[in-house]
Chains A and B, each alone.
Chain A
């Protein structure tokens, strides 16, 4: 399925290969890590960037979309932006310039240390032949954090990890392990701190232990000419609960991958996504969910608003293994396509091998409902105001699922601001 015959090398491909040659010896890691990186570079030289013939990249053809890659590497930016939720604990995703106090029950160390250990080679391998993000990140990654939340720890304050780009290459990896019965709210903030033209890959490996309850938020706020390739790999233990909230409002070429494996029974996973797309941007959310055990619940709802010449992609695949009986999986992707030059592609997939399950998906694409608009206008509200209200209402429904008041308020404000600038 994923074969791609050899094509002429693109400028971006050449640039990535050149950067690796330059950087190779300065990268963190022992000989086994270097060997692994060399292998990935070799694979990359063979396969190149994924194009439309690779099924999982059909709508995000990097061979044509990624015109070039920067020639320099980003300086360390640290964590400097104001947190989304006031009174949060702010940490740098790269574990540099750490000045906030780490709360009890949580331990943070540098991914650099991990790169020097034996575990590194297991983490860095690329998952599959079409896992370009895994490959490019493993080739270049040299910073990040390793987070351990101990058994039973209840983190009261929101923890915000900032991964700030300053132009140039930025490749970050976070490895997060939430212990049994622990709980907490985490924000992974992908921000642009200054000049743009960044090329970012950021991977988070998140393991949620038995009975743990976590809210994980990815807020992507890159600059208008940045490329952001994100990936989150999640393992859900028995009775684990995770709400993953993805807010995309920024970047030029963005792909966020979500890979979830439910390998403990009775887990509960909810994905809520808001994609605000404007300008000439291209934003892709690709999700894969593997139900490997029985009695798990998963529900995904995405709301997309497309302005200008933006292009959006949603690919969601739910796989239910033969033994995963009584699975309850729902997926919905609703899009407001507000511009005649905008585009949206959705591909909600189901792959089911168990006979006693409830799985469903729905996908809609439409403009603002004329009846709704008429209702508001008949009450003396101007056209532009009425439209803004309806778009806000469309997103708010999702934001409210965050439940925590401070989070709901923070994101509602963020989205209103973005909409005010773009509508």
Chain B
């Protein structure tokens, strides 16, 4: 059955030509020469004032990267990227050395104001914003400012840019960096390891519940630059953190590369919630321009009873290649993945998750909703795997897609791998199977089936989206009303 008008209207509102964050900030930038070689890596490392081991780590990654080939298994098509035609480092000129908010270039502050990102603590405290959020703002290759650092430090939470962390907490960074996504994990992760410029570092010590939401806002501004951020979040025993990530870029005719790596480590009883609203420039309706988003995100439930939850709302990027994953190593650990991916124009999305069950009694849940419109292609690709010793592994996967119009494609590619008899995996992609009981309950009360299904699914999605802070949820909120009628796998 085709999509209802309500859904069509809602998707149109976030169509590619409605992109609101396409403005450019005119600010003097300092850039490394174009191209990629060992000297550029030395330049980045020197700019960041990094210790020798970090430079070695980068160079090692670069040498490995030279021997690797770009992956071609995803259902995305793009011309070969010329890695020597990209600036790997671009920072606002006024950004020499760490700054307090008062010293930050007013032009930059205006940019974040326009994007609706709260950077002034006093305003946030004065109640301009509803909830209290600490923000790390990353502009091209550098972190502009990190708010609420002092207050967080009181609780023992370390929240700063990764460049700062490498200087101030080298032991912690060295211990965890690359321990979840190894340097040689994949082509783009290896490239990132060589040239990453900034990103956020979060460390929540044992027993601490992070007192506020942490958030990083990524902005690509400069032409011909690539953004390579690296995020590392560590939750020690019984700690908790909720982290949000937002991203936008100006409207440009050429494609820009964004290759990030995010690593999460949850020790015993710890919980990490990671939410993303990805709104990179998607290109225009003819497919010109837009960001290539090649991201490696992985969480390691290292300790028993730990939990990692990924939530993503994807509306941007010309190409998305992203599989936020959980390695369920600790016994009784739990991984979750909730995703809404909307593609429009000529966007291509190949996204999903991996749940790797290694410990005993581990469980995971995957809920994925893909909506394709225009001439886009939207692929869910997910792997669920239980190893021989992962007794009582449990997974539930549900992925639904909706097509609007007749020029787009929706695809589902699940890989289900069971290696012991106690594993219990369920994968479903039909609307009729959405909790028969709930459906029956609604139908019995005279709600038509289509509305009932929408109600059930949206009830769930809403629960997730409502946990995002308002300013990041603008796009997400618009999707809430989208129902699941006419679902196809």
A interface with B by C-beta (< 8 Å) = 1, 3, 55, 322, 330, 335, 337-367
Contact between A361 and B412 (Cβ–Cβ < 8 Å)?
yes
Query: A347-B416, A351-B411 given as contacts; is B425 within 8 A of A364 (CB)?
Result: yes
Choose from A55, A348, A349, A357 the contact partner of B488 (Cβ within 8 Å).
A357
CB-CB nearest in chain A for B403: A355
Q: Which of B403, B414, B419, B421 has the most CB of A within 10 A?
A: B421
A355 to B401, CA, bound (A): 10
Q: Chain B contacts of A342 at CB under 8 A?
A: 421
A360 to B404, CA, bound (A): 17
Q: Chain A contacts of B487 at CB under 8 A?
A: 360
Distance of A387 from chain B, by nearest CB (Å): 12
Contact between B489 and A350 (Cβ–Cβ < 8 Å)?
yes
CB-CB nearest in chain B for A363: B427
B424 interface residue, CB < 8 Å from A?
yes
Q: Chain A contacts of B426 at CB under 8 A?
A: 362-364
A360 to B63, CA, bound (A): 45
A345 to B412, CA, bound (A): 16
Distance of B382 from chain A, by nearest CB (Å): 10
B22 interface residue, CB < 8 Å from A?
no
Choose from A341, A359, A364 the contact partner of B489 (Cβ within 8 Å).
A359
Of the listed stretches B41-49, B290-298, B428-436, chain A binds B428-436
Contact between A347 and B401 (Cβ–Cβ < 8 Å)?
no
Choose from B73, B424, B488 the contact partner of A350 (Cβ within 8 Å).
B488
CB-CB nearest in chain B for A368: B421
B100 interface residue, CB < 8 Å from A?
no
Distance of A340 from chain B, by nearest CB (Å): 5
A355 to B86, CA, bound (A): 39
Contact between A356 and B418 (Cβ–Cβ < 8 Å)?
no
Contact between B421 and A360 (Cβ–Cβ < 8 Å)?
no
CB-CB nearest in chain B for A325: B406
A350 to B430, CA, bound (A): 12
Q: Which of B405, B420, B431 has the most CB of A within 10 A?
A: B420
CB-CB nearest in chain A for B430: A360
Contact between A337 and B421 (Cβ–Cβ < 8 Å)?
yes
Please, could you name 18 A-B residue pairs with CB atoms under 8 Å apart, sorted by A? A55-B73, A322-B407, A330-B430, A344-B418, A347-B414, A347-B415, A350-B429, A352-B403, A355-B405, A356-B486, A360-B428, A360-B433, A361-B412, A362-B429, A363-B414, A363-B425, A365-B418, A366-B424
Contact between A367 and B427 (Cβ–Cβ < 8 Å)?
no
Choose from B73, B410, B418, B422 the contact partner of A345 (Cβ within 8 Å).
B418
Query: A322-B407, A340-B420, A366-B423 given as contacts; is B412 within 8 A of A349 (CB)?
Result: yes
Distance of A381 from chain B, by nearest CB (Å): 21
CB-CB nearest in chain B for A344: B418
Choose from A343, A350, A355 the contact partner of B412 (Cβ within 8 Å).
A350
Choose from A337, A340, A345, A349 the contact partner of B413 (Cβ within 8 Å).
A349
B72 interface residue, CB < 8 Å from A?
yes
B 361-416 contacts with A by CB, 8 A: 388, 401, 403-416
Distance of A271 from chain B, by nearest CB (Å): 17
B66 interface residue, CB < 8 Å from A?
no
CB-CB nearest in chain A for B397: A363
CB-CB nearest in chain A for B423: A365
A352 to B429, CA, bound (A): 13
CB-CB nearest in chain B for A315: B415
B3 interface residue, CB < 8 Å from A?
yes
Contact between A349 and B411 (Cβ–Cβ < 8 Å)?
yes
Q: Chain A contacts of B413 at CB under 8 A?
A: 347, 349
Q: Chain A contacts of B419 at CB under 8 A?
A: 343
CB-CB nearest in chain B for A338: B421
Contact between B488 and A364 (Cβ–Cβ < 8 Å)?
no
Contact between B411 and A352 (Cβ–Cβ < 8 Å)?
yes
A349 to B412, CA, bound (A): 5
Contact between B409 and A353 (Cβ–Cβ < 8 Å)?
yes
Known contacts A363-B414, A365-B423; can you find 12 more A-B pairs with CB under 8 A? A1-B72, A322-B407, A344-B417, A347-B415, A347-B416, A349-B414, A350-B410, A351-B411, A352-B488, A355-B3, A360-B487, A364-B427
Interface size on B, residues (CB 8 A): 42
Query: A322-B406, A355-B3, A360-B488 given as contacts; is B424 within 8 A of A365 (CB)?
Result: yes
A337 to B417, CA, bound (A): 11
Choose from A55, A353, A355, A367 the contact partner of B422 (Cβ within 8 Å).
A367
Q: Chain B contacts of A352 at CB under 8 A?
A: 401, 403, 409-411, 488-489
B79 interface residue, CB < 8 Å from A?
no
Distance of A245 from chain B, by nearest CB (Å): 23
Q: Chain B contacts of A365 at CB under 8 A?
A: 416, 418, 423-425
Contact between B433 and A362 (Cβ–Cβ < 8 Å)?
yes
Distance of B300 from chain A, by nearest CB (Å): 24
A343 to B404, CA, bound (A): 39
Query: A340-B388, A365-B424 given as contacts; is B73 within 8 A of A360 (CB)?
Result: no
Q: Which of A352, A355, A366 has the most CB of B within 10 A?
A: A355
Contact between B411 and A337 (Cβ–Cβ < 8 Å)?
no
A60 to B307, CA, bound (A): 34
A352 to B377, CA, bound (A): 10
Q: What 9 A-B pairs are tightest by C-beta distance, nearest first? A: A360-B430, A350-B489, A355-B403, A365-B418, A363-B427, A350-B412, A365-B425, A359-B488, A346-B416
A364 to B416, CA, bound (A): 9
Q: Chain B contacts of A340 at CB under 8 A?
A: 388, 420-422
Q: Chain A contacts of B411 at CB under 8 A?
A: 349-352
B 314-328 contacts with A by CB, 8 A: none
Q: Chain A contacts of B128 at CB under 8 A?
A: none
A393 to B408, CA, bound (A): 42
CB-CB nearest in chain A for B385: A345
B2 interface residue, CB < 8 Å from A?
yes
Distance of B332 from chain A, by nearest CB (Å): 19
Q: Chain A contacts of B429 at CB under 8 A?
A: 350, 360-362
Q: Chain B contacts of A366 at CB under 8 A?
A: 423-425
Q: Which of B403, B416, B429, B486 has the most CB of A within 10 A?
A: B416
Q: Chain B contacts of A357 at CB under 8 A?
A: 488
Distance of B343 from chain A, by nearest CB (Å): 13
A364 to B487, CA, bound (A): 20
Distance of B137 from chain A, by nearest CB (Å): 39
Distance of B393 from chain A, by nearest CB (Å): 10
B1 interface residue, CB < 8 Å from A?
yes
Q: Chain A contacts of B415 at CB under 8 A?
A: 345, 347
Distance of B233 from chain A, by nearest CB (Å): 32
A352 to B402, CA, bound (A): 10
A287 to B403, CA, bound (A): 24
A367 to B418, CA, bound (A): 11
CB-CB nearest in chain B for A337: B421
Q: Chain A contacts of B3 at CB under 8 A?
A: 355
CB-CB nearest in chain B for A357: B488
Q: Chain B contacts of A1 at CB under 8 A?
A: 72-73
Contact between B406 and A354 (Cβ–Cβ < 8 Å)?
yes
Contact between A362 and B428 (Cβ–Cβ < 8 Å)?
yes
A1 to B413, CA, bound (A): 15
Contact between B407 and A356 (Cβ–Cβ < 8 Å)?
no
CB-CB nearest in chain A for B432: A360
Q: Chain B contacts of A343 at CB under 8 A?
A: 417-419
CB-CB nearest in chain A for B400: A360
A3 to B428, CA, bound (A): 31
A204 to B406, CA, bound (A): 35
A123 to B339, CA, bound (A): 46
Distance of B214 from chain A, by nearest CB (Å): 37
A362 to B434, CA, bound (A): 12
Q: Chain B contacts of A363 at CB under 8 A?
A: 414, 416, 425-428
Distance of A308 from chain B, by nearest CB (Å): 11
Distance of B326 from chain A, by nearest CB (Å): 19
Contact between A337 and B423 (Cβ–Cβ < 8 Å)?
yes
A10 to B414, CA, bound (A): 31
A212 to B488, CA, bound (A): 29
Contact between B418 and A335 (Cβ–Cβ < 8 Å)?
yes
Distance of B472 from chain A, by nearest CB (Å): 31
Query: A350-B412, A352-B409, A355-B403 given as contacts; is B418 within 8 A of A361 (CB)?
Result: no
B 133-175 contacts with A by CB, 8 A: none
